[in-house]
């Protein structure tokens, strides 16, 4: 199978063997059904063993899988009448972020998300899902529009990070991200963020100031890529695997650290194995999230977001007072 990952190779090999045997029994006059049954039982056990004991680095591989469903895939399954809106009204249209209006089970909503490409050509057009300032400014424009028309906002997070380029710096990458964090704080509508792939640093957070933050089981969310962390901490980018383990970037880690609300279960082996089923799974969590948040008034929603972020972080106090004075 194309795009198989290293850690799941035993599963793939066994699957291939079973398929071969089945093919063989069809043509030859031998009954191998008991052997096949045995192998299938072994396969099931192997799958459970491998997919339920995934290491952080395995999850990173799944989160980065070229076939991993993107924002647009989920939009097509989850929403009706999606109408895409383009442009930041100041500089251009950044295709690394898609956004627009739609209905979710009848409810008008605004949907925004990072957008990777499916192939090289599309990836170049979408800059591999790494936005420039105009992408964030487009997102903010759509959020303010949602606020005006009182539509809940759903953000899909899936980026390696904000694009590190000359033009991005010149046009104020920092300011664009900062402004999103700032303005999202006072939106009077529910904001629900779902990390579907890689949540890369500030570029991800700029769509991430939500009342609820959910993560797909095999997605990651971190302050820096494992490669970047390894380069800084150990001056060696090849230690990414070790960094992935010590940086605590997986969904269960973030749940434990109090950042994430719900972990959305994935199809065995990763979301790319069955987009439709995965979308349905996301739909259920989204539905419940909306139900919960729509019980809150405008002010309560703003307070809810304030308190959510205020509570993140770990610190303590020294007994004796030592100041600069």
Partner 1 sequence: MLKDIFTKTKKKKYATIPSETAKQDVPEGIMTKCPNCKKIMYTKELVKNLKVCFHCQYHHTMNSKERLESFLDASSFEEINANMISENPLNFPDYIEKLEKDREKTKINEAVVTGTGTVNGQKIAVAVMDSTFRMGSMGSVVGEKITRAIEKADELGVPFIIFTASGGARMQEGVLSLMQMAKTSVALKRFSDNGGLIISIMTHPTTGGVSASFASLGDYNLAEPGALIGFAGRRIIEQTIREELPEDFQTAEFLLKHGQLDAVIPRTELKDKISAILSIHQPGGDFQWQEN
Per CB under 8 A, residues contacting partner 1 are: 162-166, 168-175, 177-179, 181-183, 185-186, 201-202, 205-206, 208-209, 221-224, 229, 232-233, 246-249, 253-254, 257, 259, 302, 305-306, 309-310, 312-325
DSSP letter string over 66-89? TTS--HHHHHHHH-EEEEE----S
Minimal distance, residue 202 CB to partner 1, in Å: 4
What's the token pair of residue 26? 């069809």
Nearer to partner 1, 106 or 313 (CB): 313
83 vs 321, beta carbon nearer partner 1: 321
Would you list the DSSP string of 244-255? HHHTT-BHHHHH
Nearer to partner 1, 66 or 258 (CB): 258
Least Å distance between CB 264 and partner 1?
A: 18
| Residue 65 beta carbon to partner 1: minimum distance, rounded to whole angstroms | 21
Closer Cβ to partner 1, 51 or 163, answer by number: 163
Nearer to partner 1, 155 or 275 (CB): 155
Residues whose CB falls within 8 Å of the CB of residue 9, separated by 6 or more in sequence, listed in order: none
Ramachandran class of 3: left when φ > 0, alpha when ψ lies in -120 to 50, beta otherwise:
left
Write down the least CB distance from residue 302 to partner 1, Å: 8
Q: What is the phi/psi pair of residue 82, to 5°?
A: -65, 125
- Burial of 33: CB neighbours in 10 Å, binned 0-12, 13-18, 19+: exposed
Tokens at 142, concatenated: 């759509």
Distance in Å, CB of 37 to partner 1, minimum: 45
């Amino acid at each position: 199978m194309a795009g198989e990952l290293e850690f799941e190779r035993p599963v793939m090999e066994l699957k291939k063997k079973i398929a071969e045997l089945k093919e063989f029994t069809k043509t030859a006059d031998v009954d191998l059904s008991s052997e096949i049954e045995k192998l299938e039982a072994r396969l099931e056990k192997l799958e459970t063993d491998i997919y339920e004991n995934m290491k952080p680095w395995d999850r990173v591989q799944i989160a980065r899988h070229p076939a991993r469903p993107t924002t647009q895939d989920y939009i097509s399954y989850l929403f009706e009448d999606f109408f895409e809106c383009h442009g930041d009204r100041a500089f251009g249209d950044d295709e690394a972020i898609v956004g627009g209006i739609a209905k979710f089970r009848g409810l008008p909503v605004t949907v925004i998300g990072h957008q990777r490409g499916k192939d090289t050509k599309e990836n170049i057009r979408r800059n591999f899902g790494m936005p420039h300032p105009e992408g964030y400014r487009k997102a903010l424009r759509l959020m303010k529009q949602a606020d005006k028309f009182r539509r809940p906002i759903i953000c899909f997070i899936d980026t390696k990070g904000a694009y590190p380029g000359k033009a991005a710096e010149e046009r104020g990458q920092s300011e664009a991200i900062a402004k999103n964090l700032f303005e999202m704080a006072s939106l009077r509508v529910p904001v629900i963020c779902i990390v579907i792939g890689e949540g890369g640093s500030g570029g991800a957070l700029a769509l991430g100031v939500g009342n609820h933050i959910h993560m797909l089981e095999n997605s990651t969310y971190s302050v820096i890529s494992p490669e970047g962390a390894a380069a800084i901490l150990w001056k060696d980018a090849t230690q990414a695997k070790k960094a992935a383990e010590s940086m605590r970037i997986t969904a269960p880690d973030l749940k434990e650290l109090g950042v994430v609300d719900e972990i959305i279960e994935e199809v065995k082996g990763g979301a790319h194995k069955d987009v439709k089923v995965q979308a349905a799974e996301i739909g259920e969590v989204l539905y419940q999230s909306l139900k919960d948040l729509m019980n809150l008034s405008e002010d309560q929603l703003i307070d809810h977001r304030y308190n959510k972020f205020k509570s993140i972080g770990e610190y303590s106090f020294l007994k004796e007072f030592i100041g600069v004075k």
